Amino acid sequence: MPFYRMAAGHALAMIRRHMRPAQTIEELSQFERRGAGTNSERRASSWLATQTDSPSRACNIEPFWCRPNWALAHAWHVGLALLGSLLSVNSPRIGGALVLAALISVVADELLGISPGRRLTLEHASQNIHAAPTTGPPNTTHLIITANYDAGRTGLCYRRRIRTAAAGLRRAAGGRAPGWLTWLSVTFLWLIAVAILRLEGSKGAGVGVLQLVPTVVLVLSLALLLELASADFSPAANDNASGTAAALALTAALDAAPPRHATVELLLQGASDGSGLGLRRHLRARRKQLRAHNAIVIGVGPCAAGQVRWWTSDGALIPLRYLPQLQRLCAQVAADLPELGAKPHRGRGSTAALPARAARIPAIAIGSVSGNGIIAHSHQRSDTQDHIDQDAIDDMVQFGLTLVEHIDAYLAARRATPPSAPAYTPAQS
């Protein structure tokens, strides 16, 4: 039997006996309404810090200020575009300029986390929990295992039927359908084109009909975003208390049997549901250090229901492809552990690893997806501990342990391979 399979099996047995991810989920779920920037989130971070602190790790709570209500931020952008659409009937130049400003704001918010709409939302304090080894070999690759622990909001747009229909459309398109922000941006571009037609003298019912369609879309979008911005928070047992529990268990198992060529760090992100603000803040503060140590980020998503998946791409606006080498390593793990049924998955949202990918840091996202292509109970009131599947979490931890084993082998081969020699491939592990 290969070493990695024996190590994974031993670690899995240890996790079941001592670490109890289900208990972590239960404890974390008791911090009700732990939305980004809330007192409940701060209490949850203090509790998580006690779970990560150990003689071999130094745990730090890293507070930061942020504006986490992304739905309200985009509601401002949609409202600006809607105003531009109305004004463009009589003043196409002014109306088109407002819609263009809204489009630029949407792009800036997605890429940078900063936009005029974001500035018009309330600022809150949040915090990351960072646990790094107190000792370790110098100049090794930093392997960052990360998950967000805050709860997302429920809302009409997260209703099961809507999400299932959207997943069905993506499957029909071969997984290449764009994300919702892409469709919103297309609507803005449509209105800008109509404003240009009006500016050039086009009039009549035809132009009015062309403008009516995207305007109706904006009205519906504004209503959905405002409803989401004021909605209650989900219990978030699966999304993403399960990812947090799996990240804790995975890190503890790697402390017992650490990789030889990487230093494992744990980062639990605050204020990161939907926009990854916690990881963005962490990367900005340590970008030079992470690049110097060739950091690799493994983002752990909801994993308490469904089968194991690794994300090949992600992003609600511009789909970003995760590092091909890490994807190949995930494919090798899936081949080595066929009983897990792990497969690739194209995402069009925001995973725990997406900000690292946007910052050009090698990253991969892993999680579990149900048979209809959605994350079970995500952002719904039904996301409670009653629907947690311990076996699914065990599968995720086993997949993560084996993936780290492959990454470690890849790092060893890369260091041992002369520059002129053939590159390491997963099949060589």
28-63 pLDDT, tens digit per residue, is 999 999 999 999 999 999 999 999 877 888 899 999
Is the pLDDT at 207 greater than 50, yes or no? yes
Q: Are residues 396 and 307 in the same domain?
A: yes
Percent of the chain with pLDDT over 70: 92
With H, G, I as helix, E, B as strand and everything else as coil, classify residue 368. Answer: strand
**308, containing H or E segment:** strand 307-314
Domain boundary among 173, 208, 229: 229
Q: Which residues constitute the domain of residue 116?
A: 72-120+164-229
What is the Cβ-side half-sphere exposure of residue 370, based on CA atoms within 13 angstroms?
A: 18
Q: Which two tokens stand for residue 2?
A: 């290969």
Residue 184: C-alpha distances to residues 102, 108, 126, 138, 215 (Å): 10, 14, 29, 47, 11
Q: Do 296 and 375 lie in a common domain?
A: yes
Mean pLDDT of the 398-416 span: 93
The reported pTM is 0.91
pLDDT of residue 165: 87
328 three-state secondary structure? helix
User: Same domain, yes or no, for 173 and 225?
Assistant: yes
pLDDT, average across residues 237-266: 94
Alpha-helix residue ranges (DSSP H) falling in 347-389: 354-358
- The set of residues, in sequence order, having a beta carbon less than 8 Å from that of 386 and lying 6+ positions away, is none
Q: What is the mean pLDDT of residues 305-311?
A: 96
Average pLDDT over residues 402-422: 82
Distances (CA, A) of 90 to 96, 177, 363, 381, 398: 11, 35, 49, 45, 62
Q: Is the pLDDT of residue 394 over 70?
A: yes
pLDDT at 259: 92
Query: Please, what is the average pLDDT of the chain?
Result: 90
Co-location of 309 and 355 in the same domain: yes
Among the three residues 229, 259, 282, which one is the final residue of a domain in this structure? 229
DSSP code at position 224: H
Q: What is the DSSP string of 227-275?
A: HHHTSPBP--IIIIIIHHHHHHHHHHHHHHS--SSEEEEEEEESS-TTT
For residues 416 and 287, state if they share a domain. Answer: yes
Q: Please state, in angstroms and rounded to a whole number, the distance separating the CA atoms of residues 335 and 312.
A: 16
Whether 102 contacts 191, CB under 8 Å: no
Residues 95-124, mean pLDDT to the nearest whole number = 95
First to last CA, the chain: 14
**Inside any domain, residue 60:** yes
Last residue of a domain, one of 202, 229, 256: 229
Where does residue 176 rank: exposed (0-12), middle (13-18), buried (19+ CB within 10 A)? exposed
**Which H or E element spans position 127?**
strand 124-133
Q: Which residues have C-beta within 8 Å of that of residue 300, sequence separation ≥ 6?
A: 145, 146, 147, 243, 244, 246, 247, 250, 352, 366, 367, 396, 400
Residues 300 and 366 grouped into a single domain: yes
Residues 222 and 326 in one domain: no
pLDDT at position 420 over 70: no
- Given pLDDT bands bounded at 50, 70 and 90, which one contains residue 18? very low
Which H or E element spans position 185?
A: helix 180-199
Rg of the chain taking only CA atoms, in angstroms: 23
- Whether residue 102 is found in the same domain as residue 219: yes
Higher pLDDT, 312 or 168: 312
The CATH number of residue 374's host domain is: 3.40.630.10
Give the integer Cα–Cα distance in Å for 8 and 230.
Answer: 43
Query: Three-state DSSP class for 30?
Result: coil
Residue 149 lies in a domain: yes
Residues 61 and 185 in one domain: no
Q: What is the largest CA-CA distance in the chain?
A: 75
Specify if 188 maps to a domain. yes
Q: Within this chain, do residues 22 and 36 fall inside the same structural domain, yes or no?
A: yes
Q: What share of the chain is helix, strand, coil (3-state, %, to 5)?
A: 55, 15, 30
Helices then strands, counting H and E runs in the chain, come out as: 14, 9
Instruction: Name the pLDDT band for 135 (thresholds 50, 70, 90).
Output: confident
The answer to whether residue 82 sits within a structural domain is yes
For residue 387, pLDDT over 60 is answered with yes
Q: Is residue 106 part of a domain?
A: yes
Q: Is the pLDDT of residue 427 over 50?
A: no
Please give the structure tokens belonging to residue 93. Answer: 């130049």
pLDDT in tens, 321-371: 999 999 999 999 999 999 999 999 999 999 999 999 999 999 999 999 998
Number of domains in the chain: 2
Contact 106, 188 (CB under 8 A): yes
68, two tokens = 């986490």
Q: Between the CA atoms of 416, 419, 420 and 421, what dihedral angle is there, to the nearest 10 degrees?
A: 30
Please check whether residues 7 and 114 belong to one and the same domain: no
- What's the pLDDT band for 281 if we cut at 50, 70, 90? very high
CA 358, distance to chain mean position in Å, is: 11
The tokens of 165 are what?
């229909």
Q: Could you tell me if residue 386 is inside a domain?
A: yes
Residues 350 and 315: beta-carbon distance below 8 Å: yes
In a domain, 159, yes or no: no
Q: Does 178 lie in the same domain as 53? A: no
DSSP H or E stretch at residue 62:
strand 57-66
Q: Is the pLDDT of residue 296 over 90?
A: yes
Residue 403 clears pLDDT 50, i.e. is over it: yes
